[in-house]
């Protein structure tokens, strides 16, 4: 008797799994209803009621299941395919005062932001909006942060593109993937951020290298041409020379991010310590650190500073003498370690 009950239960589960995987709403609900009746007939009233409750709760939340071939089904599939092409969709709280950069670059960013805040005004006078921005320069010098600042200042959502998913060895697939991202951004009047933009050159590694690369470049050029004024594309790269000249020329604004000067290093340190919980003292110690940091990126400098603060704090707790002064010796050692680690990479 138990064997018959078990086999009957297996048959119901197989049917439910089959209809569920096929997204066949009608057949799935019918099988679930039969399964509930089966439990009731088997005197498993508690299980029947639990299953019935789950069905009602699911219908209340989702309204319906999706049948294969329906418009809703294809929309779901399209949304899933798109989500694989982006790392994240984010909103940003960053503002220009969070960014330490060369003053000329800052002014260009201010102008870019001003134009994109004034789309309607410029349209009134039949003037184009600069909405395609290329950021290039050394790694860790603020390119990604600049994109977050733009998103924050304009209060626009930003899609961070997943180039690993965009670039495909299948003929024509890379172009199709790019088109999907640009179409979505255009519909939502959002920002597209493509980091390591030069990686699109990796298409050359495939068998169809030259023809496929030409197709990708042409696709991007077309997507740029038809990008609505209300949307923005920001591309970042450490290797501008890897990008096709035709693409480089199509960007409205091209900004180079350099390694920080002494003045910018000091400004970055002050910005990082602005809460006042920790200080660098005396002034001669700060000057020594600034000189030692020359040649490092903003990212590396800030990383060594934050690690120095943490190690100083732990050391002070061990010595039972908690204070505000950062241990300069610890910070100096971390800077040297960072320089050595960077040398090994090149």
pLDDT digit string, tens, across residues 298-320: 999 999 999 999 999 999 999 88
Find the mean pLDDT for residues 277-288: 92
pTM as predicted? 0.75
- Three-state DSSP at 118 gives coil
CA separation for the pair 231, 40 (Å, rounded):
57
**Range in 59-73, 91-105, 111-125, 195-209 the model is least confident about:** 59-73
CA separation for the pair 106, 159 (Å, rounded):
23
pLDDT at residue 203, as a whole number: 47
- Three-state DSSP at 227 gives coil
List the beta bridge partners of residue 235: 134, 194
Same fold, 83-257 and 262-345: no
**How is residue 1 annotated by DSSP?**
-
Helix axes 283-293, 262-272, angle to 10 degrees: 120
Q: Selecting from 3.40.30.10, 3.40.50.1000, 3.40.50.300, 3.90.1150.10, what CATH number does the domain 83-257 have?
A: 3.40.50.300
CA separation for the pair 286, 273 (Å, rounded):
12
pLDDT at residue 204, as a whole number: 47
Find the mean pLDDT for residues 273-284: 90
- 20 and 66 Cβ atoms separated by less than 8 Å: no
> Strand order of the sheet with strand 253-257?
86-90, 158-161, 191-194, 232-237, 132-137, 253-257
Domain 262-345 has CATH 1.10.8: yes
Q: Where are the domains of the chain?
A: 2-62, 83-257, 262-345
**How is residue 325 annotated by DSSP?**
B
């Amino acid at each position: 008797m138990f064997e018959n009950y078990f086999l009957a239960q297996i048959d119901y589960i197989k049917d439910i799994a089959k209809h569920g995987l096929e997204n066949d709403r009608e057949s799935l609900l019918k099988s679930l209803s039969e399964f509930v009746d089966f439990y009731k007939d088997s005197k498993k009233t508690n299980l029947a009621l639990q299953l019935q409750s789950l069905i009602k709760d699911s219908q209340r939340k989702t309204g319906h299941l999706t049948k294969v071939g329906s418009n809703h089904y294809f929309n779901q599939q399209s949304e899933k395919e798109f989500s694989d092409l982006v790392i994240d969709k984010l909103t940003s709280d960053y503002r220009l005062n969070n960014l330490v950069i060369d003053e000329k670059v800052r002014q260009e960013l201010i102008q870019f932001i001003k134009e994109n805040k004034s789309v309607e005004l410029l349209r009134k006078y039949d003037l184009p909006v600069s909405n395609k921005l290329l950021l290039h320069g050394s790694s860790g010098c603020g390119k990604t942060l600049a994109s977050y600042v733009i998103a924050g200042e304009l209060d626009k959502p930003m899609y961070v593109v997943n180039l690993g998913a965009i670039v495909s060895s299948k003929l024509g697939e890379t172009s199709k993937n790019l088109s999907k991202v640009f179409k979505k951004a255009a519909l939502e009047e959002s920002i597209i951020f493509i980091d390591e933009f030069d990686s699109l050159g990796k298409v050359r590694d495939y068998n169809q290298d030259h023809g496929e690369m030409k197709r990708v470049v042409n696709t991007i050029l077309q997507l740029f041409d038809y990008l609505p004024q209300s949307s923005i594309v920001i591309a970042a790269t450490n290797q501008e020379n890897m990008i096709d000249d035709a693409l480089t020329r199509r960007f409205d604004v091209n900004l180079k991010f350099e390694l920080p000067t002494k003045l910018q290093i000091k400004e970055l340190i002050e910005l990082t310590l602005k809460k006042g919980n920790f200080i660098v003292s005396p002034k001669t110690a700060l000057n020594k650190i600034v000189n030692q940091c020359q040649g490092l990126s903003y990212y590396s400098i800030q990383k060594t500073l934050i690690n120095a603060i943490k190690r100083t704090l732990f050391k002070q707790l061990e010595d039972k003498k908690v204070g505000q002064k950062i241990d300069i010796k610890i910070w100096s050692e971390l800077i040297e370690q960072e320089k050595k680690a960077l040398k090994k990479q090149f």
